[in-house]
Amino acid sequence: MNNYQFTVSPSEFPSQGLKCRADLYLPLGIEKPSIVIMAHGFGAERNFVLPNFAEHFAKNGLAVYLFDYRCFGDSDGIPRNYVNPYHHLQDWQAALTHVKTLANINNKKIALWGSSYSGGHVIVTAAKNPDVKAIVSQVPHVNSLATAKLLGISYLIKATWHGLLDLFSTLLGRDPHYVKIYSSPSEFAVLNTIDSIKYGEIVSKNSAWQNQCPARIMLIFATYNPIKFAKKVTCPALVMSAEKDSLIPASAVAKTAGNMPNATLIKYPFGHFDIYHGEHFLDAVNKQCNFLLQNLN
């Protein structure tokens, strides 16, 4: 492993008439480095532990473009924290288009990195952009039906009710009806399984982020299934699953990886949020970095 110095500079790009904001990591001493585009998972901001991954990649000679979706972080858009996978995919496409215009990177060697919800987004985006050279899909959301079976009927009834309340609020011109993004299993939230409370461990202490999102996502969620795009991902793919994941069935992740023509699946014996910290993070980020260097250099 190398130990390049790197710079981090602010950037922005347009998506559907709004500005999405980002950080561009550039390793020093490399002319036009290969680049990894990154964004966060469900309801999160780019400064929630992802800089740890970005810095590791930059120290090893890879440029990184780490962005926030519209309605998140310092990107434009309302309502705030509006989770919509189809909007996210538009932002991914816009970020990819923008990165290809950057003069100081190798825009022929671009990889995508996503985790959790964005782990699914990179699968869809790579399927639609065969010039992408590689993807890393970490504990990815791949199949809404499989996740729904884990959550149970009681959860789904509550989720539909909250989603309808938000829909009616929107139709009446009122403020959104919000639900918590994460909580313990004792109260309702989008993520409220046994390890969902660990979401709080990734939240940046310096962020003004609020633990809430418009509940309409509960009506949209079921329609989003990245597994349907897996067979069209022709580039090398590194997929990492958590075998004790209470949000995303490991079997669904394995099936998705199996449907990709050129995927490597790595299984970890822990829960959904454990990959972001400690020895698990170090193992995962090293494997990801090696994979990216092999496929981008």
Measured CA angle at 133 (ends 123, 130), to 5 deg: 65
Work out the average pLDDT over 268-296.
Answer: 97
Rg (C-alpha) for the chain, rounded Å, is 18
CA–CA distance, 252 with 257 (Å, rounded to integer): 9
pLDDT tens digits for 97-155?
Answer: 999 999 999 999 999 999 999 999 999 999 999 999 999 999 999 998 888 888 889 99
Q: What is the largest CA-CA distance in the chain?
A: 57
CA–CA distance, 90 with 206 (Å, rounded to integer): 28
pLDDT tens digits for 190-242?
Answer: 999 999 999 999 999 888 999 999 999 999 988 999 999 999 999 999 999 99
Q: What is the pLDDT of residue 207?
A: 86
Instruction: Specify the pTM.
Output: 0.96
Work out the average pLDDT over 24-41.
Answer: 97
pLDDT tens digits for 51-104?
Answer: 999 999 999 999 999 999 999 999 999 999 999 999 999 999 999 999 999 999
- Average pLDDT over the chain, rounded to whole? 96
Q: Are 227 and 121 in contact (CB under 8 A)?
A: no
- Domains defined for the chain, CATH in brackets: 6-144+224-296 (3.40.50.1820)
1 confidence band (pLDDT: 50, 70, 90): low
**Selection from 27, 28, 46 nearest residue 37 by Cα:** 46
Residues 6+ apart with CB under 8 A from 159: 151, 188, 190, 218, 221
Q: What is the pLDDT of residue 145?
A: 86
Fill in the amino acid letter for 170: T
Residues 6+ apart with CB under 8 A from 133: 34, 109, 110, 111, 235, 236, 295, 296
Fill in the amino acid letter for 219: L
The count of other CB atoms within 10 Å of the CB of residue 157 is: 10
Residues 6+ apart with CB under 8 A from 43: 72, 81, 83, 181, 182, 190, 213
Pairing of strands 263-268, 237-242: parallel
Q: Are 190 and 214 in contact (CB under 8 A)?
A: no
